[in-house]
Chains A and B, each alone.
Chain A
Amino acid sequence: MNGPSHYNVAMRPGNVALAITSTLMVGAGFGGQGTADKETISKQAVAILQANCIRCHDSSRKTAGIDLSTRALSISTTALNDRDLAKSRLIQQVASGQMPPTGRLSDANIDILREWISHGASYPVEKLIAINPAMMPLWSFQPVQPQVIRQTPFDKLARNPIDHFVFEKLASSGLHPSQPADKLTLLRRVTVDLTGLPPTTQEIDSFVKDQSPKAYEKVVDRLLASPAYGERWARHWLDVVRYGESDGYERNILRPNAWPYRDYVIRAFNQDLPFTRFITEQIAGDTIGKGDPNVEAATGFLVAGIHDTVGNATEEGTRQQRISDLEDITSTTCASFLAITVGCARCHDHKFDPIPQRDFYRLASSFAGVHFGERTIASGDVLSHTLFEKEKIASQAFVAINSLNELDDSARHRVIPTPAIPGKARSAVNARRNVDSFAPVVARWVRFNVLATRDGSEPCLDELQVYGPDNQKDLALASNGAVASASSVYPGNEFHKINHLNDGRLGNEYSWISQTRGTGWAQIDLGKTQRISRVVWSRDGAEIARFDDRLPTAYRIEVSLDGKTWKTVSTEAGRSDRAGRDYVHPDALIKVMNLAERSRRVALQKALQDLTRKREALDAFGTAYAGQFTKPDPTFVLRRGDVMQRGEEVSPGALSQISSLPSNLCDAPDAPDTIRRQALASWISNDKNPLTARVIVNRIWQYHFGVGLVGTPSDFGRNGEKPSHPELLDWLANDFMTHGWRIKRLQKMIVLSYTFCQSGAADSNGLKLDAGNRLLWRMPLHRMEAESIRDAILATSGKLDRRMGGPGFRLFKYSEVNVAIYDPLDQYGPDTWRRSIYRVSARSIRDDLLENFDCPENAQRAPKREMTTTALQALSLLNGKFLVDQAHYFANRVRSEAGPKLEAQTARAFQLAFGRVPRPAEVKTATNVARKLGMPSFCRALMNANEFLYY
């Protein structure tokens, strides 16, 4: 054959595919008419065979005995009839539509084949071979193309280049843009869109009054600068990266310090971090921001997914867990930044996209040093400061909880009067707090010797406190120089340690357990001789105590001056034998308290709560669930994805089929973890990467318009959609990169565009041609997302707590008994009135309201939310405790802001809920309803209305 040289290159599938596909495109352009020369026709015809036939009819498969790979073979296997080519089976089968089985070829293509045959059916290639269709070039792997802005009939309306691209498509489809939206609609749209909250009545007033041409732009600038902006847009990103705050699976333990990552993302959006920096910090923040907790927290990205913490004794099970973790990290990174689905290549080459199996393992190798877990994210200085602060808080909390226990103790004695049994005058031992007083004695050592426990199991003590006659400070505290020791300690448990005996922390998590059943001793060396007269001891003295097993019932408290000779100062003698059964519910305790005691109790609880909040904030400041990093294990390609079938060892690499960038990240298979991740981050954030800018620009677009330019935002592969506006996508991507990868700039351009500012009015032409509004001839209403609904309810009732950051609030009660147990709340107190992004998003326990409104459960990535309409949504908004409470507060607010007149109240309610005053026709009905059903029910109706839920 004497075809052009580029057809004669070695028969590597990739090359053939490239050459032939481009020919095919040219062919389609010709429309199959006889203008083309013989050679071109041959190329086109062979390209058609390549694309449609050769997969089954190549030399190796020869389906039905037919082999089309060369002219000679086509003849010998009877596909071509060399005596009368026009009567060849090939053309008969194709023309009748019997072949290919995927559907009849287009008439144009059939004409090309006819013409090719009439010219002698020559092959311009040596031999056609079956190409893996997945390896054909993919649009999204091609470089971002520069774009020209062209004129359109609607250019007078255009406000920026976005409009030109949108108008161009409208014009070519016989559509036209809609009228501009009215001011109120526009303000509500842009405010919910950028901040997730509805505009306040003041914001509405000032915008409506502002007649300057820059009025809208001023609003946009204000919204982009508002801290609420980051809270809204961080939520989108957290969906994309499957951020959750518990491990998932059977144990599903909470991750109490996962939130620094959530705060990091909010900050990143509010500070408009360049997107490339955002990428790098999330993948390698521990390296590029070492010691700075604000940057180190970013690697929470890597480990925000599910992780099975149930240990497994088998090798296969352990390997399986590890590869699941690595797949989660790798797939999430690739899906989030590159919109490719590499997980599909874990067991075999990707079926649809140019991603060989090896690529998956090379990518996974970049994360081979990453493990799920928490780590210290602050530098030494920061840490020692927080340590100091934490100690201070701990000692304050110890004092507060001791006082609380003392208060409750005295109340309990009133509820359960000490029995009048002779010799049993003392109260029974209990888990929470026991006092043994004795005549003052001088001692250096104090020993608590357990002789029996309530259930015969190994005894447990969470604290041994020792006081002198002045009763001022706990002399046993380690921070006062005392040292604890014990007969033995329960082995292999992280909670139960000897130094917990005098650490000033109460509760099971800070306790000691002996190793011997029923017995054991714990002792305190006070450091110097002291006058002592009282020992206070407990098994679980936490504010919310949960454990009363292992409780000592027979014991001896002994003291010593020399550590050798001991003197008993107190025993259980005289205690009632109702050991552990003297639990009294706090409500009953409060009942017997006097006014002063009650208010003191409230104050102590409040103080404890504040201290806990402070401590949690500090805890997570030092350490965060942001991953642990080790020397990477070697990575092997796994045959069929089977962990027990290791193949070739690979070094870190990126996608091999992206030709604009080298895919080799580190040459050495033993490259350090930090280098691997940094190398991958720079590969992703390189300007030459064809995917990264397109992908983020498309995500941002989707969250403004409901659908992305590519409708599958985490899949730019062949299973995903093709872009609706490819030129616009590339123009935006280029513009984004040229201007420093700044998201706020991009968004400002989007929301200032005419396209965004259009009305949502229906138009019969538009509905006929494009009911789904894919070409954006209007801006229809959108239902608020779950979190925005909840936040809007709180904003409207006036109860929204705008405190930002820190540990989240829980919509569940939590306990751990080997596995985590979550019980949904039935009461929603003020600590749950913060924005929904601060909700602790534990997996698998979900809130009715949020869940029903399509809030994802974060086990898998959710690049796009469903928008369903269901009866359960109606039930949770009509009858759910949260909304009923808030409707009540809303009613109170309306009454206090509008005064006693019912008309004024209903008008105010309309204003707060819908951003407008009622129309004259609405006033009467509204007032009647409010009068008849009461203001709270009226307010509940407004919060259920479509006008409230849509924007």
Chain B
Amino acid sequence: MSSFTTKPPHVDLNPLTHDDFLSRRQFLSQMGTGLGGIALACLLAEEASASMQSEWAPRQLQYPAKAKRIIQIFCPGAVSQLDTFDYKPELILRHGQAMPGQEKLVTFQGGNGALMKSPWGWKQHGQSGKWVSDLLPHLAGCVDDMAFIHSLTAKSNTHGPAMLQMNTGFILEGFPSMGAWTTYALGTLNKDLPAFVAIPDPRGMPPNGPANWSAGFLPATFQGTPFSNDQPIANLKSPAGTDSKSERELRQYLEELNQDHLKHHPGQSELSARIGAYELAARMQLSAPEATDLSRETPETLKLYGADSSDVIRAGYAKNCILARRLLERGVRFVQLYCGAHASAVDGNLNWDAHKTLKKDYERHAPIMDQPTAALLHDLKRRGLLEDTLVLWTTEFGRMPTHQTGSEGRDHNPMGFTAWMAGAGVKSGFSYGETDEFGYQAVKDVCTIYDFHATVLRLLGIDHKKLTYYHNGSFRRLTDVHGEVITPLLA
């Protein structure tokens, strides 16, 4: 079939960049419309649909897949590692003293004062004896399920580009996010919901907005669909003044028009693909409201998450956590869940960017995140979902062990920060990598975000070097030209 002529060409000179593992998807996406288009439009009922011709069937993954689906919790604004999970006794001891070399240190907003210990105490938790700050009592109870990475480093010290890097691998806008890559590689697990969903925080959109769940240059099919309890998917409701019967009749008539048109234009498969798209849309209209309907949840579950809280933001994030679980249960492949919103007139007001008043800010943000996130882990586990669901907890970079000149907050620090994983294929009760004695700079087992992404793909069964898409002259990867799998993290 010479449709292949629109396929990215094979490059003889460097066989490594060509990736026939994904040629099916490349073929489908390049076809754009037609059977391919509709298959990509998340019509596949099963991962390896028997109805697909064998030549389009997905090739073997490079590794056995541990994770089938992912939930990525993202805390925008840069969560301080020093007030949450990265315990540094030396920082407490030398509180108020100068950090060696600090006088020359210029960070994002300028100069730095003395070392500043966390305003919260620290205790050891679980069988693993992990130190966690008193800021997060509920999550502290989950440490035996978590694998921490304390030695992450980011390429940018600015929220916008750094968030893009954590989500897309690049500090520039316009690249596909991890969720888009995942669904591009693996397709969907359901037939009537999007494969990739983003749930923004009740306080508003994250920095960069939809660029965080963009499909970049991948076909629009792979973009994240924003979801909330109020409005599951845009344009889901039929127009005012119509009812389901009249809408059914309207779609029936539309199908007649399209079938008739198709008869006059044989040999154009995209025309029939569009007919299929309307059928799928009708199914989505039925299933998406069901997915967001929390009234089916037991009072015990609502309480577990804290969805009964009188604080609307806390209850809002708790409901988002329940929604995330319901979507995962219904076969959504990748959920991005935000805890924190965009910047506001005051730093640290709506997200974790505590430049000036760390204590006050985190006393507001931490309780919003703590209980619901812990409940989500617990709930996934008791339902058996944690077996093949990978949970990621991420932020864009860390914060300084010193206080910012003239304030009681911490400036940006991309030199060392913490993220954790839990669930499918990941060691539990495990910590990897270290920052220095003050928690400033990653010094042991230093990791990049590329490494983090390579590890995530590995858990999905994918070799990060083989997941490519041709765009503007390069076979692009989530990991650019970098990335090493953090194998010690794998169970």
Q: Check B110 against A946 for contact (C-beta < 8 Å).
A: no
Distance to closest chain A CB from B434 (angstroms): 23
Q: Which residues of the other chain, B, contact A320 by a CB distance below 8 angstroms?
A: 156
Distance to closest chain B CB from A194 (angstroms): 22
Closest to A315 in B: B106
Interface stretch, picked from B36-44, B59-67, B135-143, B386-394, is B36-44
Rounded to whole angstroms, the CA-CA distance of A101 and B257 in the bound complex is 55
Interface stretch, picked from B115-123, B264-272, B443-451, is B264-272
Q: Provided the pairs A341-B473, A941-B254, A950-B271 are in contact, do residues A929 and B249 lie with their beta carbons within 8 angstroms? A: yes
| Residue from B4, B17, B233 in contact with A772 in the complex, judged by beta carbons closer than 8 Å | B4
Q: Check B233 against A875 for contact (C-beta < 8 Å).
A: yes
Q: Check A770 against B172 for contact (C-beta < 8 Å).
A: no
Closest to A851 in B: B220
Q: Which residues of the other chain, A, contact B270 by a CB distance below 8 angstroms?
A: 783, 867, 869
**Which A34-84 residues sit within 8 Å CB-CB of chain B?**
none
Q: Check B268 against A774 for contact (C-beta < 8 Å).
A: no
Q: Check B267 against A762 for contact (C-beta < 8 Å).
A: yes
Q: Check A134 against B33 for contact (C-beta < 8 Å).
A: no
**Which B237-286 residues sit within 8 Å CB-CB of chain A?**
237-239, 242, 246, 249-251, 253-254, 256-258, 260-262, 265-268, 270-271, 273-278, 280-281, 284-285
Distance to closest chain B CB from A243 (angstroms): 13
Closest to A248 in B: B173
Q: Check B13 against A771 for contact (C-beta < 8 Å).
A: no
Closest to A132 in B: B13
B320 touches A (CB below 8 Å): no
B53 touches A (CB below 8 Å): no
**Which B4-51 residues sit within 8 Å CB-CB of chain A?**
4-6, 8-9, 11-15, 17, 29, 32-34, 37-38, 40-42
Q: Check B234 against A848 for contact (C-beta < 8 Å).
A: yes
Q: Check A941 against B253 for contact (C-beta < 8 Å).
A: yes
Rounded to whole angstroms, the CA-CA distance of A452 and B343 in the bound complex is 30
Q: Check B470 against A719 for contact (C-beta < 8 Å).
A: yes
Q: Which residues of the other chain, B, contact A863 by a CB distance below 8 angstroms?
A: 472
**Which A756-813 residues sit within 8 Å CB-CB of chain B?**
760-763, 767, 769-775, 780-781, 783
Q: Provided the pairs A720-B9, A859-B211, A879-B238 are in contact, do residues A843 and B157 lie with their beta carbons within 8 angstroms? A: no
B96 touches A (CB below 8 Å): no
Q: Provided the pairs A134-B13, A843-B211, A845-B209 are in contact, do residues A869 and B274 lie with their beta carbons within 8 angstroms? A: yes
Q: Check A774 against B249 for contact (C-beta < 8 Å).
A: no
Distance to closest chain B CB from A250 (angstroms): 3
Q: Which residues of the other chain, B, contact A120 by a CB distance below 8 angstroms?
A: none
Residue count of chain B within 8 Å CB distance of chain A: 102
| Residue from B160, B238, B239 in contact with A308 in the complex, judged by beta carbons closer than 8 Å | B160
Q: Check A308 against B161 for contact (C-beta < 8 Å).
A: yes
A728 touches B (CB below 8 Å): no
Residue picked from B172, B210, B275, most chain A C-beta under 10 Å: B172
A908-951: CB near B (< 8 Å → 1, else 0) gives 00000000000000100100010011000110111011110110
Rounded to whole angstroms, the CA-CA distance of A844 and B106 in the bound complex is 31
Interface stretch, picked from A110-118, A710-718, A829-837, is A710-718
Distance to closest chain A CB from B38 (angstroms): 6
Rounded to whole angstroms, the CA-CA distance of A780 and B32 in the bound complex is 15
Q: Which residues of the other chain, A, contact B11 by a CB distance below 8 angstroms?
A: 352, 718-719
A351 touches B (CB below 8 Å): yes
Q: Check B12 against A940 for contact (C-beta < 8 Å).
A: no
Interface stretch, picked from A487-495, A670-678, A816-824, is A816-824
Rounded to whole angstroms, the CA-CA distance of A341 and B344 in the bound complex is 38
Residue picked from A851, A857, A873, most chain B C-beta under 10 Å: A857
Q: Check B175 against A860 for contact (C-beta < 8 Å).
A: yes
Q: Check A818 against B344 for contact (C-beta < 8 Å).
A: yes
B159 touches A (CB below 8 Å): yes
Rounded to whole angstroms, the CA-CA distance of A771 and B470 in the bound complex is 22
Q: Check B472 against A317 for contact (C-beta < 8 Å).
A: no
A287 touches B (CB below 8 Å): no
Q: Check A817 against B344 for contact (C-beta < 8 Å).
A: yes
Q: Check A875 against B208 for contact (C-beta < 8 Å).
A: no
A210 touches B (CB below 8 Å): no
Q: Check B261 against A945 for contact (C-beta < 8 Å).
A: yes
Closest to A877 in B: B235
**Which B335-356 residues sit within 8 Å CB-CB of chain A?**
342-345
Q: Which residues of the other chain, A, contact B109 by a CB distance below 8 angstroms?
A: 313
Distance to closest chain A CB from B157 (angstroms): 6
A304-318: CB near B (< 8 Å → 1, else 0) gives 001010101111010
B483 touches A (CB below 8 Å): no
The dominant DSSP class at the A interface is loop
Rounded to whole angstroms, the CA-CA distance of A315 and B174 in the bound complex is 26
| Residue from A767, A878, A947, A950 in contact with B235 in the complex, judged by beta carbons closer than 8 Å | A878
Q: Check A821 against B342 for contact (C-beta < 8 Å).
A: yes
| Residue from A133, A324, A771, A844 in contact with B210 in the complex, judged by beta carbons closer than 8 Å | A844
B214 touches A (CB below 8 Å): yes
B491 touches A (CB below 8 Å): no
Q: Check B13 against A818 for contact (C-beta < 8 Å).
A: no
Q: Check A941 against B41 for contact (C-beta < 8 Å).
A: no
Q: Which residues of the other chain, A, contact B281 by a CB distance below 8 angstroms?
A: 871-872, 874-875, 878
A848-881: CB near B (< 8 Å → 1, else 0) gives 1001111001011111001111111111101110
Rounded to whole angstroms, the CA-CA distance of A718 and B11 in the bound complex is 7
Q: Check B158 against A252 for contact (C-beta < 8 Å).
A: no
| Residue from A306, A717, A762, A868 in contact with B219 in the complex, judged by beta carbons closer than 8 Å | A868
Q: Check B220 against A781 for contact (C-beta < 8 Å).
A: no
B413-425: CB near A (< 8 Å → 1, else 0) gives 0000000000000
Rounded to whole angstroms, the CA-CA distance of A542 and B154 in the bound complex is 42
Q: Check B342 against A819 for contact (C-beta < 8 Å).
A: yes
Rounded to whole angstroms, the CA-CA distance of A248 and B209 in the bound complex is 10
Q: Which residues of the other chain, A, contact B280 by a CB distance below 8 angstroms?
A: 871, 874
B475 touches A (CB below 8 Å): yes
B58 touches A (CB below 8 Å): no
Q: Provided the pairs A720-B473, A876-B235 are in contact, do residues A929 and B253 lie with their beta carbons within 8 angstroms? A: yes
Distance to closest chain A CB from B206 (angstroms): 9
Q: Check B211 against A875 for contact (C-beta < 8 Å).
A: no
| Residue from B40, B156, B160 in contact with A868 in the complex, judged by beta carbons closer than 8 Å | B40
| Residue from A250, A773, A844, A950 in contact with B343 in the complex, judged by beta carbons closer than 8 Å | A250
Q: Check A822 against B208 for contact (C-beta < 8 Å).
A: no
**Which A331-364 residues sit within 8 Å CB-CB of chain B?**
335, 340-341, 343-344, 351-352
Q: Which residues of the other chain, A, contact B261 by a CB distance below 8 angstroms?
A: 945-947
Q: Which residues of the other chain, B, contact A862 by a CB distance below 8 angstroms?
A: 217
Rounded to whole angstroms, the CA-CA distance of A306 and B32 in the bound complex is 27
Rounded to whole angstroms, the CA-CA distance of A341 and B110 in the bound complex is 37
Rounded to whole angstroms, the CA-CA distance of A308 and B164 in the bound complex is 12
**Which B138-170 residues sit within 8 Å CB-CB of chain A?**
156-161, 163-164
Rounded to whole angstroms, the CA-CA distance of A922 and B262 in the bound complex is 15
Distance to closest chain B CB from A183 (angstroms): 15
A846 touches B (CB below 8 Å): yes
Q: Which residues of the other chain, B, contact A313 by a CB distance below 8 angstroms?
A: 106-110
Distance to closest chain B CB from A239 (angstroms): 12
Q: Check B108 against A317 for contact (C-beta < 8 Å).
A: yes
| Residue from A312, A818, A854 in contact with B158 in the complex, judged by beta carbons closer than 8 Å | A312
Closest to B164 in A: A249
| Residue from B271, B277, B474 in contact with A344 in the complex, judged by beta carbons closer than 8 Å | B474
Q: Check A818 against B160 for contact (C-beta < 8 Å).
A: no
Q: Provided the pairs A313-B110, A932-B249 are in contact, do residues A859 and B2 lie with their beta carbons within 8 angstroms? A: no
A102 touches B (CB below 8 Å): yes
27 contacts between A and B (CB under 8 A): A250-B207, A250-B343, A251-B343, A306-B174, A312-B158, A315-B106, A341-B474, A352-B11, A722-B9, A770-B2, A772-B3, A772-B6, A819-B344, A848-B234, A854-B220, A859-B214, A866-B220, A868-B29, A868-B33, A869-B34, A872-B234, A874-B281, A875-B233, A876-B234, A878-B251, A880-B235, A946-B275
Closest 8 CB pairs of A and B: A762-B267, A341-B473, A250-B160, A860-B174, A859-B174, A249-B160, A859-B173, A772-B3
Extra 6 A-B pairs, beta carbons < 8 Å, given A711-B6, A719-B470, A872-B225:
A251-B343, A310-B159, A783-B33, A844-B211, A869-B37, A933-B253
